[in-house]
A and B are shown apart, each in its own frame.
Chain A
Amino acid sequence: KQEVTQIPAALSVPEGENLVLNCSFTDSAIYNLQWFRQDPGKGLTSLLLIQSSQREQTSGRLNASLDKSSGRSTLYIAASQPGDSATYLCAVLGTALIFGKGTTLSVSS
Chain B
Amino acid sequence: SQTIHQWPATLVQPVGSPLSLECTVEGTSNPNLYWYRQAAGRGLQLLFYSVGIGQISSEVPQNLSASRPQDRQFILSSKKLLLSDSGFYLCAWSTGPKRNIQYFGAGTRLSVL
Known A32-B99, A49-B101, A93-B99: A41·B43 in contact at CB below 8 Å: no
Q: What's the count of A-B pairs with C-beta under 8 Å? A: 48
Task: Say whether chain A's binding surface is mostly helix, strand, loop, or mixed.
Answer: strand
Chain B, interface size category, equals 20 to 34
Q: Does B7 contact A (CB under 8 A)?
A: no
Q: Which of A11-58 contact B (CB under 8 A)?
A: 31-32, 34, 36, 41-46, 49
**A57 CB to closest chain B CB, in angstroms?**
12
Q: Flag if A101 contacts B46 (CB, 8 Å).
A: no
B107 at the interface (CB under 8 A from A): yes
A102–B43 touching, CB < 8 Å = yes
- Docked-complex contact B104 and A44, CB < 8 angstroms: yes
From A4, A36, A43, A96, residue with most partner B Cβ within 10 Å: A43
Docked CA distance A102–B99 (Å): 21
The yes or no answer to A97 lying at the interface (CB within 8 A) is: yes
Q: Which of B60-102 contact A (CB under 8 A)?
A: 88, 90, 98-99, 101-102
10 other A-B residue contacts (CB within 8 Å) besides A34-B102, A96-B46: A31-B99, A36-B104, A41-B88, A43-B6, A46-B104, A49-B101, A93-B98, A93-B99, A99-B36, A100-B43
By a beta-carbon cutoff of 8 Å, the part of chain B in contact with chain A is 6, 34, 36, 41-46, 49, 59, 88, 90, 98-99, 101-107, 109
